[in-house]
Structure 1
């Protein structure tokens, strides 16, 4: 089995790859940026379990610095709606072709319109709890975190998505609220103690 190697950021430039043993000579610190071949982005050394064990680092948390703005969040929502609409339209088409009755087709379309917002909420809760992002957010490399920058709890995700109803019925004030705070939290994020952040860039 090939030994795992690491790329380390030194003086702002990526260097390596280094083996775990070779890293000892680099005087790395808990907040040194590092990545392996299988990682999408750099992480701080204390975030990697094997490095904490090898160097005796304590796991600590760094406050997020890159927050997702209104434009990215809106685009992610549009992408998610497009995906769900496309799937719903395909299913409704198949059902309409199967039943071949206009009244049944109209009933199917009506039920789809009623159920789609509920389905979207369930989809968002599932994706944000398990993956911290819906497909729209994943495409734009943004994700939902708690105030420490970690994966939010199921309770926080549920509260966040239910609170979106409040953000919407207040004539979108809940979404415009993100312009009023440095962490760009929408009202539903504030209620749930969550944030939407961009992936760290090096």
Structure 2
């Protein structure tokens, strides 16, 4: 990204910080759970949640592993954001150009979550300390998450009480 486009991007966008991204992840997790848990309970019963097995069967594999992969990648490819990121008005862009990332970058980013979470989530927490707010998954894929700068209206209070 050249300096001129950096200035334009800097005027409108900022790196999405740790807490907004946590909020986005919570939204995405709730949506995925609302879609998958009823089916998992219908197929496996409530004992599903007591099992130590990583995968309890074909339905579990499809709903717990394949569906999230396809859903997340689809949102990234077509919207550059999951519903949670859309809710915080953020999107994923190439870290060098600011353009839409390639499918390869998205795949690396998705698999990078595994690397980022293995050492007690340190790679996810890294977003809080990194200058560009990149987690390890972002660094591996050469992506950044940006959001619109908050535009707030000036607050004015009147001296008369009309309440």
Aligned runs of 1:94-133 on 2, under 5 Å? Answer: 96=42, 105-106=44-45, 109=48, 110-111=56-57, 114=61, 115-133=63-81
Long gaps (5+) in structure 1? 1-59, 97-103
The Cα offsets for residues 150-194 of structure 1, whole Å up to 9 and x where unpaired, read as 111111111011111000111111012223321110011011100
Match of 1:82 among 8, 26, 30: 30
**Residue 182 of structure 1 corresponds to which residue in structure 2?**
131
CA RMSD of aligned residues (A): 2.5
Does structure 2 retain, via aligned residues, the 8 Å contact 1:92–1:108?
no
Count of aligned positions: 134
Relative to the length of structure 1, the TM-score reads 0.58
**What's the secondary structure of 1:62's corresponding residue?**
helix
**Residue 69 of structure 1 corresponds to which residue in structure 2?**
17
**What's the secondary structure of 1:185's corresponding residue?**
coil
**Residue 156 of structure 1 corresponds to which residue in structure 2?**
105
Q: CA deviation at 1:128?
A: 0.8
The Cα offsets for residues 50-107 of structure 1, whole Å up to 9 and x where unpaired, read as xxxxxxxxxx7436430111111111111111111111133345xx3xxxxxxx6349
Task: Please list every run of at least 4 consecutive aligned residues from structure 1 whose deviation after the TM superposition is greater than 6 angstroms.
Answer: none
**Residue 94 of structure 2 corresponds to which residue in structure 1?**
146
Q: CA deviation at 1:200?
A: 4.2
Higher helix proportion? 2
Long gaps (5+) in structure 2? 49-55, 152-163
Does structure 1 retain, via aligned residues, the 8 Å contact 2:93–2:146?
yes
The separation in 2 between residues aligned to 1:170 and 1:92, in whole angstroms, is 29
Aligned runs of 1:25-40 on 2, under 5 Å? Answer: none
Q: Which has the larger radius of gyration?
A: 1
- Which structure has the higher relative contact order (CA within 8 Å, separation 6+)? 2
Relative to the length of structure 2, the TM-score reads 0.71
